[in-house]
Structure formats: C-alpha cells, structure tokens
Amino acid sequence: MNKHLLDPAWLSRLERMQVLSRRLASGTQVGKHRSRQTGSSLEFADYRAYAPGDDLRQLDWNAYARSGKLFVKKFLDEQELHVTLYIDCSKSMGYGEPPKLERAVQLAAALGYISLCHLDYVSVYAFDREIIASLRNLQGKNKAAQLFDFLASLSVRGTGDLEQALRSPGAVHGKTGVSLVLSDFLFESGYEDAIAYLQATRQDVTLVQLLSREEREPAYQGELRLIDSETGTGKEISVTHALMDEYRKTVRDYQAALAQFAYRRGISAVDVKTETPLEEVVFQVFRQAGMIR
C-alpha cells in the first residue's frame, strides 16, 4: 500500500483539529481534551498550532517572531485522551474501487495524526477474526511517521469476527477513551455483542461503516456464480431487476439497522462511501458527525 497516505498539504489543517470525546479521560499528561483549565505546571511538553479559542496567554511569541505562525505551549498538567483505532482487515475489506481497506487506512491516518498533534495517546489494532497487528500508546507528532508506516503495511487477511477479535488478549487496554471501529460490519457473527463489550470497557465508541459503490449499487445482470470473498463458498443466481431492487433494499435496511443500534447504545455511527473524496470525508463528513472539530 502506498505509504503516502495523506496529502502533505492537509497536515497543517489537521493539526488545528481535534478528535472529540463525550467524556474526558483521567490522567496527568498533556492533551487538548481538558476541563477548561490551562496547564499550570512549569514543565514544558510540546508545541501545537494555535486554534481559535485557545488561551492567548499560552502563545509563544518567540516562536511567532521566528516563523510568523502562532503556536501554543503545552504543559504536563492537562488531561490526555486515549484514542484507539480498530481497522477491519478481513478479506471483504479488499473489495471496491478504491478498496475499503485503503480508505479505512487513510481515515485512520488522518484521525491518528490529529490525535498525535494534540499529544493524545494513539493505539491501532488491525483485525480479522483476531488481532493480527497492533501499535500501542504512541504520543506526540514525532510518532506520525511510525503510525503511517504501520498503517501502510496493512493488508487484507482472513474471515472477520469482531467479537472474537476484541476478546483477544490485550485488544482492549481498559483505559477510558475514544475507540473508533473502521469496518464494513459485514460479519457473519454480527457486531452487536462486540460493540457492547467495547462500551463496557469505558470506551466512547464511534462506528465508521465503509461500503463501496459496487456493494451499494451493483451492476450485475444475467446468470452468475457469486463467490464469498471470506469463506470461498459460491452460489448460482439469476440476476433480475426485481432481485437487484430487493438487494439494494437489504443494503439500506442493514445500514439503517446499524445506525439504529448505535442510537440505542448512545454511540455514533458514520456512513462512508469509499468513492467519496478523502478530503470530503475528513473535513466535511467527520466534522458534521461531531467526530472532530
């Protein structure tokens, strides 16, 4: 997968944003997510780009004189946020143009970079039926290259099972924070119990469902043999207009069921069409959904 996951021209825009949480995580490290209190510790930690609403007393005017840009000092008595990204690498995520996994990885790169720029802790777990790769507790913008390299190395693997994956040893770190699951949610075993389990570990959960145009509006016709990308099983079908209408309704109903499930659980669900330009998803869809600001 291409290691240039994000347009470099976006990075300064992303640095001014933050991942939102309904609750603050406890802790004593730096982070933008805080209880309206300015850090008072004399131990300097890092800089980040100024964003409207920041305390002007924390501006570094020497840095401004050197660069012409506004930077805010961060200190070690503000609260951090733990941001965990779960990326579905099951075989169904290889479908579409662009492939769903490619888009999921790009979105994870954007969300992870935003978090690192605010000195939040970032962990990433790639899964199919188990955790197949992980990168844990990154902090600071200097870890962005490590994050991007890890994400660029991901590829589709086997059959997906979200609940089994989340119950793998170490799959949930147990610290209050934000967990974002990027997946098509096409699990034969379902997703409901898995998400309930994740919530029970004190996570503010957001579900990001990625579906391709080909899945939502397939252009099939005639006599076909369809092969399940994960199980390898096949089925002979005769594609008619009536069947396609029923299929499209089933997809819409499934998406609606996921949204309704999220609503009942008090969590967020975001629908991402993989053909939508990445910039539009990050800077419009995610912002409108209240995931970032």
State the average pLDDT over residues 219-235.
77
Return the residue matching tokens 């299929």: 247
Q: Which pLDDT belongs to residue 237?
A: 81
pLDDT at 6 over 60: yes
3-state secondary structure 150-187: HHHCCCCCCCCCHHHHHCCCCCCCCCCEEEEEEECCCC
Q: Which residue has the higher pLDDT, 293 or 254?
A: 254
Q: Which pLDDT belongs to residue 79?
A: 60
Q: Which pLDDT belongs to residue 243?
A: 87
Q: Which pLDDT belongs to residue 226?
A: 74
Q: Which pLDDT belongs to residue 26?
A: 41
Q: Which pLDDT belongs to residue 46?
A: 63
Query: Do the beta carbons of residue 27 and residue 80 sit within 8 Å?
Result: yes
Of the pLDDT bands very low, low, confident and very high (cuts 50, 70, 90), residue 225 is confident
Quote the CA–CA distance of 163 and 194 in Å, as a whole number. Answer: 4
Residue 177 bridge partners (DSSP): 82, 203
Domain boundaries of the chain, sorted by first residue: 38-77, 82-215+268-288
State the average pLDDT over residues 127-140.
96
Q: Which pLDDT belongs to residue 45?
A: 59
Q: Which residue has the higher pLDDT, 264 or 64?
A: 264
Of the pLDDT bands very low, low, confident and very high (cuts 50, 70, 90), residue 223 is confident
* 3-class secondary structure, 268: strand
pLDDT at 122 over 60: yes
Of the pLDDT bands very low, low, confident and very high (cuts 50, 70, 90), residue 75 is low
Q: What is the mean pLDDT of the chain?
A: 86
| pLDDT tens-digit map of 26-52 | 443 444 454 433 444 445 556 667 766
pTM of the model: 0.82
The CB-based long-range contact list for 44-48 (8 Å cut-off, 24+ gap) reads: 44/73, 44/74, 44/75, 45/74, 45/75, 45/76, 45/119, 46/74, 46/119, 46/140, 46/141, 47/71, 47/72, 47/73, 47/74, 48/15, 48/72, 48/74, 48/117, 48/118, 48/119, 48/141
CATH number of 82-215+268-288: 3.40.50.410
Q: Distance between terminal CA atoms of the chain?
A: 28
Q: In this structure, what are the phi and psi dihedrals at residue 78, rounded to the nearest 5 degrees?
A: -90, 165
Of 288, 292, 6, 290, the C-alpha closest to 147 is 6
State the average pLDDT over residues 72-84.
70
